[in-house]
Structure 1
Amino acid sequence: MTLRRRDGREPMPKHQPLRLPSDDKTWPHTRTAEWTRWVTWASTAVPVLVLCFFGVVHLANIFMGLLPWVWDDKEDIPSILPNWGAPGQLGEGLSSYPMDLTRDVIPIQCHSHNDYWRRVPLYEALHYGCTGVEADVWLYDNDLFVGHNTIALTKNRTFRSLYLDPLLQILDTANAVGDIVSPASNFKNGVFDANPKQTLVLLVDFKTNGPDLFPVVQEQLSSLREKGYLTYADGKTVLEGPITVVATGNAPFDLINANTTYRDIFFDAPLDRMYEDPHHHSRLKGQVPRHTTQTQGQGTVGTDEDSRFDLTNSYYASVSFASSIGRIWGGRLSHKQKDLIRGQIKGAHRRGLKVRYWATPQWPVGLRNHVWNILIREGVDYLNGDDLRGMTKADWSKKHHHGWL
């Protein structure tokens, strides 16, 4: 007699063996599914972990780049006696120093690009120790006005008011007859108290017609010339003074080079025409059309293929970094670009000229610093830039941790 279960289901047959998972035909499919899920999780998690790792590295990079600005921000030593030198206080009458402007300033071979843009033109560059300043000069109504373009020109911002008169005042103070010892008659002190022999380059960028502008610049320099403050060439040698005037932009090389017995305006020569193979002694000349008739452009006006640039007629040898060296890929200069830099520097130095690259990268900061570091390492004489603090506060003799920000 067969008994039926109340729920209507068939009873379990007697002696039915217990089925183990290994006997189930669906078990391999279960393992495959779990493996697939694990691979999917790993393929998602590993990239995320890698990105997180590099994110942490990037943040650390930024933090390390900011540390110098955080800890090196204080420029002034805390005053021990804040009222020292004041009337009725300790040291009364002793607080003033003849060369207060540049006392304890160490001159550095940096060039203040478009210096007139600064809140305090000239003085800010001297404060940071820059030994080169730049003024864009325009000729209108027989006077020289300073500005980046014509809309920025004003009647009170002239070549005299922004540069010539302040320099004359600074140098007169530096060479004044002292209470104890008078300065030597055959030597003129420069603008830097820490190194009176250091010359200051005054780069005059000719913005209007060069031949018209040149004689006016010559005439306005007479106040510095008469007191012996200008570097000059006498046909045989170059006698360095507190101020070295260099003409660029539309400056005419033929007029600068015309006087062979006296010259106190020097040319900003074209660096790209001076390339020499850095690995051999042979020289490769730049290809410039003979008897060019160009009337504008740095290092081209009044020059031809036969023009010869040396320390008697030129001072700087300059070129646009962007147009000459080219775009930087991958955040680092290529070996070919470095060889080009070495070749240009080699040719300029053989002629006794000071190398300067303008239009170098400004951002990202890490790329800018990389380029500056390479230029200094390869022997560039003047670092050209807008960030005076960045140029003067870093120790370019050491290897640096470069970040992109």
Structure 2
Amino acid sequence: MRRAVDPPAADEEQPTCTSSQPLLKQDTPERPRWRTTRRDFYHDEKLMRGLKPRCCARLGLGTLIFLGLIQLFSVLGGLLIVFVPDGIHRILNQWGRLGHIGQGLSSWPTDFSRGILPKPCHSHNDYWRRVPLYSAIEAGCMSVEADVWLFREELYIGHSLASLTPNRTLASLYVDPLVQILEKQNPTTQFHPDGNVSQHGVFDTAPEQSLTLLIDFKTSGSALFPYVLSALEPLRSRGHLTYRNGTQTINRPITVVGTGNTPFSLVDSDLTNPHHDIFFDAPLAAMWEGLPGETSTPAPKPESSVYGADIDASLPDGSASERQQQPASGEDLGQGMSGAAQSPDAYTSENSFYASVSFAQAIGHVVYGKLSESQMNLIRGHIRGAHRRGLKARYWELPFWPIGLRNHVWDVLVKEGVDLLNVDDLKGATETDWGSKTGWWS
């Protein structure tokens, strides 16, 4: 007996088969794109070509996000210490404050230059800086330079006549500030009862280090000298100036050196320099010495530079004492040449401190970014001769551009034994590792 089959509902369509072929691809249900597989794209060549780049892009994006999260957590960890410090950081941040650990212990009498280490650099044209003297001390420079002009019995500071102003004087920019600094560095206390006896220099980390005040005589040296001698009295009377006592040099916080038109004959005289506390900037080029048995030609002397040729015509009307005297023979010839001695052996540590010369004139231009063998011979001979006489070698008018060339020259001079770098860029000389960056030609 055959089983009866229920007839289909009236509204239900029956599938019809008009062919023996299988269902077409478009008749299959479509999956979401995120659930597709490689097999689904087998017949889609265009999608297959784009699959690999998309995977790489997603992988790269994921890596960047992961690294970004690590960096974010690192920053948040640092901020956590700042805003929620632990025990040691809380003490360090609040040290010395009222009501906290270390109250009243965060400063001391000589902390004017706390943490500053003195460095063998000379602040060239120091008065040009936004804050003269103090900027050089902050950088750690052991020497500063002041150009001095005499007008109407006053010593003005500036690079040229056009730059002079009534309030920028040797006293206001250098002597008075140094007196104030050294008074703070040498207080009168129960532990240091002789506060007027100078013992502590401007650098707290190296109290024995003397700061050199290089005074560049711009007008007539013979007329300037007695005024400079008098202007230094506030430092002298407090025992702050380095001096010679006849047999040895007594080191003090400030060492004064005369350059420019400073006459050597006045510096070396007991009559004109009775305290022996102004030293000379000797001519370095004249001190060249070769090695024993060496027959190389000595270094040529630098060209003479006449300072103040237009000074007399620029002076206002006044008494004869206010006008500059006509330079005598051998005077006002520039650094190391004014009133010069007949023999370079006359310059010793008893009357001189520096031995200087223009790098551009004595050594010449640096070609192809490298000092030649003959130039190196000159530098070594200069330094050798200065050191034998007990003087500190210094070059001024160094190359300043390009920076790589400047750094290369600095590096060579320091390695060869120059005692002081003459610099305009204090930050570049004292805060960067210029010794390892000599330029593109290295």
What is the TM-score normalised by the length of structure 2? 0.68
| AA of the residue aligned to 2:277 | D
- Residue 270 of structure 1 is matched in structure 2 by 283
- Residue 117 of structure 1 is matched in structure 2 by 128
Whole-angstrom CA distance in 2 between matches of 1:173 and 1:283: 52
1:302 aligns with 2:339: yes
Spell out the pairing of 1:176-325 with structure 2 (5 A cutoff): 176-182=187-193, 188-259=199-270, 262-278=275-291, 280=293, 293-306=330-343, 308-325=346-363
1:364 aligns with 2:402: yes
Q: Tell which structure's C-alpha radius of gyration is larger.
A: 2
Whole-angstrom CA distance in 2 between matches of 1:193 and 1:336: 42
Whole-angstrom CA distance in 2 between matches of 1:105 and 1:162: 21
Spell out the pairing of 1:5-154 with structure 2 (5 A cutoff): 82=93, 84-87=95-98, 91-154=102-165
Q: Using the TM superposition, give the Cα deviation of residue 295 of structure 1 relative to its aligned residue in structure 2, in angstroms.
A: 2.1
- Residue 12 of structure 1 is matched in structure 2 by none
Whole-angstrom CA distance in 2 between matches of 1:276 and 1:299: 18
- Residue 321 of structure 2 is matched in structure 1 by none
**Residue 188 to residue 86, structure 1, CA distance change in 2 (3 Å):** same
**Residue 146 to residue 318, structure 1, CA distance change in 2 (3 Å):** same
Matched-pair identity in %: 50
356, 365, 370: which is aligned to 1:332? 370
Q: Using the TM superposition, give the Cα deviation of residue 177 of structure 1 relative to its aligned residue in structure 2, in angstroms.
A: 1.7
Find the residue that maps to 1:342 and give its secondary structure: helix
Find the residue that maps to 1:336 and give its secondary structure: helix
1:101/1:127 contact within 8 Å kept: no
Whole-angstrom CA distance in 2 between matches of 1:180 and 1:188: 13
**How many residue pairs align between the two structures?**
325
| AA of the residue aligned to 1:228 | G
Whole-angstrom CA distance in 2 between matches of 1:230 and 1:359: 28
Q: Using the TM superposition, give the Cα deviation of residue 392 of structure 1 relative to its aligned residue in structure 2, in angstroms.
A: 1.4
- Residue 438 of structure 2 is matched in structure 1 by 402
Whole-angstrom CA distance in 2 between matches of 1:137 and 1:294: 17
1:206/1:248 contact within 8 Å kept: yes
| AA of the residue aligned to 2:338 | V
1:111/1:385 contact within 8 Å kept: yes
- Residue 391 of structure 1 is matched in structure 2 by 429
User: How well do the aligned residues superpose, as a CA RMSD in angstroms?
Assistant: 2.6
- Residue 86 of structure 2 is matched in structure 1 by none
Find the residue that maps to 2:412 and give its secondary structure: helix
**Residue 233 to residue 170, structure 1, CA distance change in 2 (3 Å):** same
**Residue 185 to residue 208, structure 1, CA distance change in 2 (3 Å):** closer
Find the residue that maps to 1:110 and give its secondary structure: strand
- Residue 48 of structure 2 is matched in structure 1 by none
- Residue 55 of structure 2 is matched in structure 1 by none
Q: Using the TM superposition, give the Cα deviation of residue 138 of structure 1 relative to its aligned residue in structure 2, in angstroms.
A: 0.6
Whole-angstrom CA distance in 2 between matches of 1:284 and 1:172: 50
Q: Using the TM superposition, give the Cα deviation of residue 304 of structure 1 relative to its aligned residue in structure 2, in angstroms.
A: 4.0
Find the residue that maps to 1:298 and give its secondary structure: coil
2:299/2:362 contact within 8 Å kept: no
What is the TM-score normalised by the length of structure 1? 0.74
1:292/1:304 contact within 8 Å kept: no
1:319/1:357 contact within 8 Å kept: yes
Whole-angstrom CA distance in 1 between matches of 2:137 and 2:291: 35
Find the residue that maps to 1:330 and give its secondary structure: helix
Whole-angstrom CA distance in 2 between matches of 1:394 and 1:273: 33
1:235/1:262 contact within 8 Å kept: no
Whole-angstrom CA distance in 1 between matches of 2:337 and 2:192: 47
**Residue 184 to residue 151, structure 1, CA distance change in 2 (3 Å):** closer
| AA of the residue aligned to 1:358 | W
**Worse overlay, 184-193 or 358-367:** 184-193
**Residue 332 to residue 292, structure 1, CA distance change in 2 (3 Å):** farther
**Residue 310 to residue 285, structure 1, CA distance change in 2 (3 Å):** farther
2:126/2:144 contact within 8 Å kept: yes
Find the residue that maps to 2:269 and give its secondary structure: coil
Whole-angstrom CA distance in 1 between matches of 2:430 and 2:158: 25
Q: Using the TM superposition, give the Cα deviation of residue 165 of structure 1 relative to its aligned residue in structure 2, in angstroms.
A: 0.5
**Residue 144 to residue 187, structure 1, CA distance change in 2 (3 Å):** closer
1:110/1:384 contact within 8 Å kept: yes
Which sections of structure 1, spanning at least 5 residues, go unmatched?
1-77
Find the residue that maps to 2:418 and give its secondary structure: coil
2:394/2:419 contact within 8 Å kept: yes
Find the residue that maps to 2:332 and give its secondary structure: coil
- Residue 416 of structure 2 is matched in structure 1 by 378
Find the residue that maps to 2:155 and give its secondary structure: strand
1:166 aligns with 2:177: yes
Whole-angstrom CA distance in 2 between matches of 1:151 and 1:270: 29
Q: Using the TM superposition, give the Cα deviation of residue 90 of structure 1 relative to its aligned residue in structure 2, in angstroms.
A: 5.1
Whole-angstrom CA distance in 1 between matches of 2:296 and 2:406: 30
Q: Using the TM superposition, give the Cα deviation of residue 292 of structure 1 relative to its aligned residue in structure 2, in angstroms.
A: 6.0
**Residue 404 to residue 98, structure 1, CA distance change in 2 (3 Å):** farther
